[in-house]
Structure 1
Amino acid sequence: MRKLLVTAVLLSAAPAAHSLPLIDIYAGARAWNPEISGDVATKHQNDISLDRTLGFDKARENVLYVGIEHAVPVLPNVRLSHAKVSDSARRNLNTAINFDGHVFTQGSQVRSKIDLEMTDATLYYSPLNNWLKLDLGLTIRQFKAEFDILSASEHAYRKVNETLPMLHVGARAELPFTGFYAGGAFNGVAYSGSRLTDYTVNVGWTSDFLLGVELGYSQLDVKLDDVSKVDADFSAKGPYLALGLRF
């Protein structure tokens, strides 16, 4: 329903967008069901495997984005996006775990939940913009991560909330078939033993009627070193499908 609403709003805005000279507006929605794997821990405690111990598997993610590109040399282009990845699992533990001082005994049934939320503002320039388009810029990301483990007798919860500047690089090449293209994008930052990176590679097609479709692969890698007392090293990765509009 949210994707249909976004599409309807953008279609209603198309006449206004066409009336603005030298301005391109694009927007879309992406559905992604990545696999989550890796470890999480709290300070001075053993790593807990998200997939093997807690049972996380395929998460759900929705991404909404909108961007504006223009011909003013000094001002950067702008892209805003919001993504939320979440998964829940239920598992009888085959080993005891300790998270944030709460001990979950071997054999106990635990319910776990992970929520990742990312809100990006990307400012970028396009030094190449013909059949090959190159984007270089900066992404400001508000990154939130919540880890929740619950049993009949214990409840452990930790939240990370960071705002980070990230290097942004993107590229897109027109293919020798009308409307088809291939491309990718990368965002990344490393600081104080922590690291946050993501990349996408894709192929897509844009019709003569504004609407486009894109198929790609995306991977998010998160490494936290004592951030809000959380240590983590995990990834979410898998194929995605996106629908977009460009005015």
Structure 2
Amino acid sequence: MLKKLLPLALFSFVVPAQADTLLGLYVGAQGWRAEAEGGFANSQSVTDFSFKDKTLASYYVALEHPVPLVPNIKISRQNIETQGNSLLSSSFSFAGESFAAGTDLNGALDMDSTDYTLYYEIFDNDILSLDVGLTGRDVDGVLMASAGSQITEQSFSGIVPLLYGKVEVGMPLTGLALQAQGNFLALDDNKLYDYQAAVTYSLLDNIAVDMTLQLGYRVYLLELDDMDDIYTDMEFKGVFAGVELHF
């Protein structure tokens, strides 16, 4: 009897962890006040800029299902942009233009990225939720440098593979939870990580829709080593607020 019950018990434990009992659709948006630092170049010796803080937005949609072994999917969209300046202590060459030492150089980044994430729910209950998976980040950006009438820019693009993880610890009967998630890559001299930690509050929870508010802190590191002849060492960090709907 025990031999018959054991496989059934294991099956009942694994299957609910894969996804919602029925199809679950998640839609979310975040506003992020990002403080930027670092710089860029066409060589490993990057030039740092004093960048301005910017309010950035991101959006995502995720679909979870009850089919075992088939991963859930999440698609998110993010725009990162910033502008700043640097008083050059030495000459700087970028995208075919040379800027002399002593120049007050303006620099800017405008980068769009779309994440395609496939993930599994390892645990999924009111106390602990754990997701792991892989992300393909489709990056499309442009870096600009200018001083007076000298203006130059260089674009870059590529798909970056990342590890994905998310954990949430619930606080029963309060509507509150602690959540952390991120994407990570460290390959040769390329480093990219994008992680956030937040407190969430379930504002609405009924059979039709759930609404959750988020307040947290996000860090985004972008270290590119020769992506289309682009080198960057830039970090964005700051407080964010968001809302998520679950249908």
Q: Which TM bucket (shorter chain)?
A: 0.7 to 0.9
SS in 2 for 1:75: coil
Pair 1:181-2:186 in alignment: no
Who is 1:72 aligned against? 67
| Greater strand fraction, Structure 1 or Structure 2 | 2
Find the aligned partners of 2:243 and 2:76 in 1 and give their Cα distance.
Answer: 14
**Counterpart among 105, 109, 115 of residue 110 in structure 2:** 115
Who is 1:50 aligned against? 49
Pair 1:230-2:224 in alignment: no
Structure 1 position 119, deviation (Å): 0.3
Identity level (%): 27
Per-residue CA shift, 1:96-130, capped at 9, x if unaligned? 44132422234544433211221001110011111
Amino acid across the alignment from 1:99? S
SS in 1 for 2:76: strand
Pair 1:99-2:93 in alignment: yes
Find the aligned partners of 2:182 and 2:21 in 1 and give their Cα distance.
Answer: 30
**Counterpart among 101, 105, 119 of residue 124 in structure 1:** 119
2:113–2:138 Cα contact (<8 Å) kept? yes
1:217–1:237 Cα contact (<8 Å) kept? yes
Find the aligned partners of 1:48 and 1:127 in 2 and give their Cα distance.
Answer: 43
Structure 1 position 191, deviation (Å): 2.4
Amino acid across the alignment from 1:215? L
**Counterpart among 152, 159, 181 of residue 156 in structure 1:** 152
**Counterpart among 130, 133, 137 of residue 129 in structure 2:** 133
Find the aligned partners of 1:134 and 1:94 in 2 and give their Cα distance.
Answer: 47
Query: TM-score normalized by structure 2?
Result: 0.83
Structure 1 position 206, deviation (Å): 1.5
Structure 1 position 221, deviation (Å): 0.7
Structure 1 position 177, deviation (Å): 4.0
Which has the greater radius of gyration? 2
Structure 1 position 222, deviation (Å): 1.2
1:139–1:166 Cα contact (<8 Å) kept? yes
Amino acid across the alignment from 2:124? N
Inter-CA distance 24–236: structure 2 relative to 1 (3 Å threshold): same
Find the aligned partners of 1:189 and 1:102 in 2 and give their Cα distance.
Answer: 32
Find the aligned partners of 2:143 and 2:55 in 1 and give their Cα distance.
Answer: 16
1:92–1:107 Cα contact (<8 Å) kept? no
Find the aligned partners of 2:106 and 2:243 in 1 and give their Cα distance.
Answer: 34
Structure 1 position 38, deviation (Å): 1.4
Pair 1:83-2:83 in alignment: no
Who is 1:9 aligned against? none
Structure 1 position 215, deviation (Å): 0.3
1:48–1:97 Cα contact (<8 Å) kept? no
Unaligned stretches of 5+ in structure 2? 1-19
Pair 1:221-2:221 in alignment: yes
SS in 2 for 1:208: strand
Per-residue CA shift, 1:173-231, capped at 9, x if unaligned? 11134321111112112223211111111111112352221001111111111221112
Find the aligned partners of 1:221 and 1:206 in 2 and give their Cα distance.
Answer: 30
| Cα RMSD (Å) | 2.0
Query: TM-score normalized by structure 1?
Result: 0.83
Find the aligned partners of 1:84 and 1:92 in 2 and give their Cα distance.
Answer: 23
**Length, aligned pairs only:** 222
Find the aligned partners of 1:241 and 1:134 in 2 and give their Cα distance.
Answer: 22
Inter-CA distance 21–184: structure 2 relative to 1 (3 Å threshold): closer
